[in-house]
Amino acid sequence: MNFSIVKKAVLVAAMATSLTACMTTGPALKSSNSESVAGIEARLPYANYASYFGYIDKGTAPQGTYKEKDAYYLFVWVPAAIDEIGVSMVSPASGTPSDTDFVSDAYTKLNESNPDTFFDTYIVLDRLDIVDSAKISKGGKSLQTLTYNDDSSELPANPGGSTYNSLIRHVSEVSSPTKALVRGVYRISFTSFRSAIEGSFEATVGTNVPGIKIAKSLEELQALVNEG
Ligand SMILES: [Ca+2]
């Protein structure tokens, strides 16, 4: 009997089990569509997810203000019209970045040595008037605030036991030129009304299209969208 082979087989079986479990539940961010399973209504996942792992260090200059609070931004490139967009933000970051996720330099540098620093998230989603992928870094203005959220019980509680993490969903209204979710740049503003903004965070965007890019500046977003 070769025990190393048996051990390997057990390990593979365990990994397959955990992978299946993971695929069944998926990210905590779910779409507004649901289906009834055994009489229980359950939200369906988005077809595509992209995540950004960031870290706000003490003294990091804010990029703007929201209701007189310091705010930071994430810019999202949506490459085609979408039927819905979902955004979640949790702090501290709880997942592990995959190869296709976006990871800031600050996260790489600071997360490991400060895993317990987190903040109470508050997010706001705006549609910007930037639709040309070659002109993202030229900037633009917000056409409208789509939606916002402070606390969502759909997301895991923070280490303090409070469900203070944020989740939003916004559905496109295709018949309305101002409410249709078209190709272009969207902005996630984040701030906090209960705590200092310091620590790691993980922002996740769910849509029905692949190719979503997320960056902390329009310059970085333009480079990501036009690379390769
Ligand atoms: Ca919150």
Ranges of each domain in the chain: 47-226
Q: Which residue has the higher pLDDT, 174 or 4?
A: 174
Quick: pLDDT tens for 60-95. Answer: 999 999 999 999 999 999 999 999 999 999 999 989
Q: Which residue has the higher pLDDT, 219 or 25?
A: 219
Q: Which residues contact 209 (CB under 8 A, 6 or more apart)?
A: 47, 48, 78, 79, 80, 82
Mean pLDDT in residue range 96-104: 94
DSSP per-residue string spanning 6-28: HHHHHHHHHHHHHHHHHHHH--S
Q: What was the pLDDT predicted at 19?
A: 44
Distance (Å) from CA 125 to ligand 1 centroid: 15
Tokens of 160: 């303090």
Q: Which is it for the CA torsion 99, 27, 95, 16, positive or negative?
A: negative
Architecture of domain 47-226: Sandwich (2.60)
Q: What was the pLDDT predicted at 37?
A: 85
Q: Cα–chain-centroid distance for residue 69?
A: 21
Where residue 70 falls (left for φ over 0; alpha for ψ -120 to 50; beta otherwise) is beta
To the question of pTM greater than 0.85 for the whole model, the response is yes
Mean pLDDT in residue range 193-205: 96
- At residue 81, the 3 state secondary structure works out as coil
Distance (Å) from CA 28 to ligand 1 centroid: 16
Distance (Å) from CA 72 to ligand 1 centroid: 15
Distance (Å) from CA 38 to ligand 1 centroid: 33
Distance (Å) from CA 12 to ligand 1 centroid: 39
Mean pLDDT in residue range 16-28: 52
Contact 155, 90 (CB under 8 A): yes
Q: Which residue has the higher pLDDT, 200 or 17?
A: 200
Contact 214, 171 (CB under 8 A): no
Tokens of 14: 């365990």
Distance (Å) from CA 215 to ligand 1 centroid: 22
Distance (Å) from CA 177 to ligand 1 centroid: 31
Distance (Å) from CA 122 to ligand 1 centroid: 5
Mean pLDDT in residue range 204-227: 97
Q: What are phi and psi of 35, to 5 degrees?
A: -140, 155
Distance (Å) from CA 120 to ligand 1 centroid: 5
* Strand duo 122-128 + 184-191: pairing: antiparallel
Distance (Å) from CA 227 to ligand 1 centroid: 34
Q: What was the pLDDT predicted at 228?
A: 65
Distance (Å) from CA 116 to ligand 1 centroid: 17
d(CA 128, CA 131): 8
